[in-house]
Amino acid sequence: MPMKFFADLLPVILFFTAYKLAGVYPDSAASLANDWLGGGFAPSLVPILLATLTTMIVTAIQIVVVKIMGKRIDKMLWLSFALITVLGGATLFFHDPLFIKWKPTILYWFIAIALPGSSLLLGRNLIRSALEAQIQLPEPIWARLNLAWALFFTALGLLNLYVAFSFSDEIWVNFKLFGCTALMFVFVVAQGFYLSKHMLEDGSTDAGGT
């Protein structure tokens, strides 16, 4: 689980790193951007363009590595790859960072729709499928947990758009790594306290869950 979390976060970390390095070494970054992307864009766009290109390359490498290892490629990795290819490609082609800024929100909202959608249409609680090997909970609690995650990702998507459209690129890049990760951590910890309390009270999957 820790390795998967790191693998999921790796493109975000390298996006942040590439952006910051481009700011620290502007001349080298500008030269690199001109060589790789052909120029024709404002110097202020160099950091986010290089960060976007870095993320596109890293995500593609992740797909290849998973294939070489003979493992099944997670659906979320496929989705992330598709989004970074389309939106990242649009950012590089049009020299407009707004495309890449939409990527987290689209990903979060896809999850927010998939969680209740899978439960309603397929009768499958995705959160339960992911966690039931580690914890046992009453069915009503699994339903609440599924809804809570859907609402959380909906809110996180809105917050990403607010930061993206209200603040500078640098603030958004910082929020993308530190803000979203911190909010996710706080939500998971709060969820853990709730589940621990409930499990102490109910103790089995047969409980009613109030």
DSSP letters, 83-101, are: HHHHHHHHHHHHT-THHHH
Task: From 96, 118, 145, give the residue that closes a domain.
Answer: 96
124 and 208 co-located in one domain: yes
84 and 182 co-located in one domain: no
92 and 105 co-located in one domain: no
Amino acid at residue number 3: M
85 and 128 co-located in one domain: no
Range of the structural domain that residue 174 is part of: 101-210
C-alpha–C-alpha distance, residues 24 and 26, integer Å: 6
SS3 50: helix
128 and 90 co-located in one domain: no
For the chain, count helices (H), then strands (E). 9, 0
Measure the CA angle with vertex 84, ends 191 and 151; round to 5°. Answer: 25
87 and 139 co-located in one domain: no
Task: From 70, 96, 122, give the residue that closes a domain.
Answer: 96
147 and 108 co-located in one domain: yes
pLDDT attached to residue 116: 94
The mean pLDDT values, 10 residues at a time, for the chain of 210 residues are 70 96 96 90 95 96 92 89 96 96 96 93 86 79 92 98 97 96 94 74 44
62 and 145 co-located in one domain: no
Measure the CA angle with vertex 165, ends 159 and 166; round to 5°. Answer: 85
pLDDT attached to residue 7: 74
118 and 22 co-located in one domain: no
pLDDT attached to residue 119: 86
83 and 179 co-located in one domain: no
Task: From 76, 96, 116, give the residue that closes a domain.
Answer: 96
pLDDT attached to residue 108: 96
pLDDT attached to residue 3: 61
109 and 47 co-located in one domain: no
pLDDT attached to residue 6: 67
